[in-house]
Structure 1
Amino acid sequence: MSERVLIVEDETKIAGVLSDYLAQSGYTVHHLTRGDEVEAWLAAHPVDLVLLDLMLPGKSGLDICRALRSGAPGLPSPAIIMVTARVEEIDRLLGLELGADDYICKPFSPREVVARVKAVLRRGGHAAGAAPAQAPGRGLHFDDAAWRASLDGQALDLTVVEYQLLKVLGSRPGRIFSREQLMDAMYRDERVVSDRTVDSHIKKLRRKLEERAPGQELIHSVYGLGYKYEPPA
């Protein structure tokens, strides 16, 4: 059975192109144009991933994302890739505790979108029926082909940006990375984001690492300099 993708996009031409590319890659694709239709539709038709536009008639993508991550009875929790044409919204989007797995800015290449969809679904994300993979060995391990990371053999459920951030920090234990260096590693398209975006991702990374290594602080703040990763004892 092919993986299912819901495109929520009010620009039908864009949705049509994405639908064609995703279908050619083997996905079963559905399309909605209004934000206020999404939750009821997903309650009856669970999918593996939602490509969710930020600006929608009826209900915004941010509000839909919050609802799908709320754990409300009857609502699924698929992987979510947020889509926006407003670069100035990216900092707000990433700084909030929304739970999106990735984001992409318009204009974009349809091939890039397909690649992002594949990467998120390979990692497992919140896809229906996905189970966290286990990896052997102690310490941090990274699988770039699947965008998966593990700590002491336990899979970490990371977004693409969190994966990139942890890989930078984990590649040089003990080295202090400035926020600017971390932003350069996380965002290679030269978009402008603020320091608090990095801080927000660090906060989420710490929480996820704490779940795997209770009582151990693995990412340390160095006042006035940045952050560093220290392996678990």
Structure 2
Amino acid sequence: MDNRTPMASTQLLIIEDDTRLARMVAEYLGQSGFEVAHADDGGKGLAAVQERMPDLVILDLMLPDMDGLEVCRRIRALPGEAARVPLLMLTAKGDPMDRIIGLEMGADDYLPKPFEPRELLARIRAVLRRKGESRADAADARQPLLRFGSLEIDRDARTVTVAGVACELTSYQFDLLLAMAERAGRVLTRDQIMEAVRGRELEAFDRSIDVHVGRIRNAIEADSKTPKRILTVRGVGYVFAKQQD
């Protein structure tokens, strides 16, 4: 059993009419450091979301008073932060349309019954991690200037300088650098980098990313042959270093 403790006071809400299952899940997640509350129908669950403001809701699709899709819809229609609570849906149904509809209505993830508790725990952690990353990205988005040691990236002016000296980059290379810098410390595959700059005309092959990264390194690294800002993760992609000179 995985007993690593997540962020302190992470609160979960289970909306599930199967009391026995809810109790077992709550016990397992409690052993992993989460605080878990339970509501046995949709109405109580909606009230608990507003009262408790949980960090994540585990929502069963089949409930006695209303189905989970309706609960999901009503949560997403709540005012303020309550509407943005991450939702992980559970269902005994095997119909893939349930999953598609649930995700389209705002669920963040989906897990069919029966499930392994370890998989549920892993999915909860993944959703919470994405929530934290999206908040960090949103906070970064409010800052027009990104600084990494002597490297400065100005979103608004679309300029890059190192120790005050301007770096010559194409518009596409600026977008690639910005996409990686906004995700500093995270290993990104070539596909993820290309997805991050979607909306622009992308190159035909992902290996073109390597060519552009090489040119970005020539512009921003003291020694492009031993880079310290954009690091290669062999067999995966690249990571933009958080800590720089």
TM-score scaled to structure 2, two decimals?
0.55
Q: Bigger relative contact order, structure 1 or 2, given CA contacts below 8 A and separation 6+?
A: 1
Question: CA shift at 1:126, angstroms?
Answer: 9.6
1:22 aligns with 2:25: no
Change in 2 beyond 3 A, CA 1:34/1:153: same
Give the counterpart of 1:49 among 46, 50, 56.
56
Counterpart code for 2:17: D
Question: In structure 2, what is the equivalent of residue 216 of structure 1?
Answer: 200
Counterpart code for 1:151: A
Q: Percent identity over the alignment?
A: 37
Q: Which has the greater radius of gyration?
A: 2
Question: In structure 2, what is the equivalent of residue 185 of structure 1?
Answer: none
* Cα distance between partner residues in 1 of 2:20 and 2:38: 12
Question: In structure 1, what is the equivalent of residue 99 of structure 2?
Answer: 93
Give the counterpart of 1:153 among 181, 186, 196.
181
* Cα distance between partner residues in 1 of 2:176 and 2:90: 31
Question: In structure 1, what is the equivalent of residue 169 of structure 2?
Answer: none
Counterpart secondary structure, 1:132: helix
1:39 aligns with 2:46: yes
Question: In structure 2, what is the equivalent of residue 72 of structure 1?
Answer: 79
Counterpart code for 2:14: I
Question: CA shift at 1:214, angstroms?
Answer: 7.7
Question: CA shift at 1:219, angstroms?
Answer: 10
Question: CA shift at 1:151, angstroms?
Answer: 3.3
Question: In structure 2, what is the equivalent of residue 13 of structure 1?
Answer: 20
Counterpart code for 1:153: A
Contact 1:79 1:126 in 2 (8 A): no
Counterpart code for 1:36: G
Counterpart secondary structure, 2:200: coil
Counterpart code for 2:37: H
Contact 1:8 1:33 in 2 (8 A): yes
Question: CA shift at 1:74, angstroms?
Answer: 7.3
Change in 2 beyond 3 A, CA 1:131/1:44: farther
Q: RMSD value over aligned CA atoms?
A: 3.9
Counterpart code for 2:191: G
Q: Deviation per CA, 1:53-95, whole angstroms, max 9, x where unpaired?
A: 011111211112122223535744211111110011x334325
Deviates more, 1:67-76 or 1:21-30: 67-76
* Cα distance between partner residues in 2 of 1:104 and 1:113: 7
Contact 1:5 1:29 in 2 (8 A): yes
| Structure 1: 5+ residue stretches without partners | 142-149, 156-165, 174-208, 221-227
Give the counterpart of 1:120 among 97, 107, 127.
127
Q: Aligned ranges for residues 67-216 of structure 1 at < 5 Å? A: 67-70=74-77, 72-73=79-80, 75-88=82-95, 90-95=96-101, 97-124=104-131, 130-132=135-137, 151-154=179-182, 170=191, 213=197, 215-216=199-200
Change in 2 beyond 3 A, CA 1:17/1:218: farther
* Cα distance between partner residues in 2 of 1:171 and 1:101: 19
Counterpart code for 1:111: R
Change in 2 beyond 3 A, CA 1:218/1:56: farther
Change in 2 beyond 3 A, CA 1:74/1:110: closer
Question: CA shift at 1:109, angstroms?
Answer: 0.9
Q: Deviation per CA, 1:95-138, whole angstroms, max 9, x where unpaired?
A: 552121111010111111111111111222699xx443769897
Question: In structure 1, what is the equivalent of residue 167 of structure 2?
Answer: none
Counterpart secondary structure, 1:56: coil
TM-score scaled to structure 1, two decimals?
0.57
Counterpart code for 2:26: S
Give the counterpart of 1:61 among 68, 78, 83.
68
| Structure 2: 5+ residue stretches without partners | 1-7, 141-145, 154-173, 213-245
Counterpart secondary structure, 2:104: coil
Counterpart code for 1:65: C
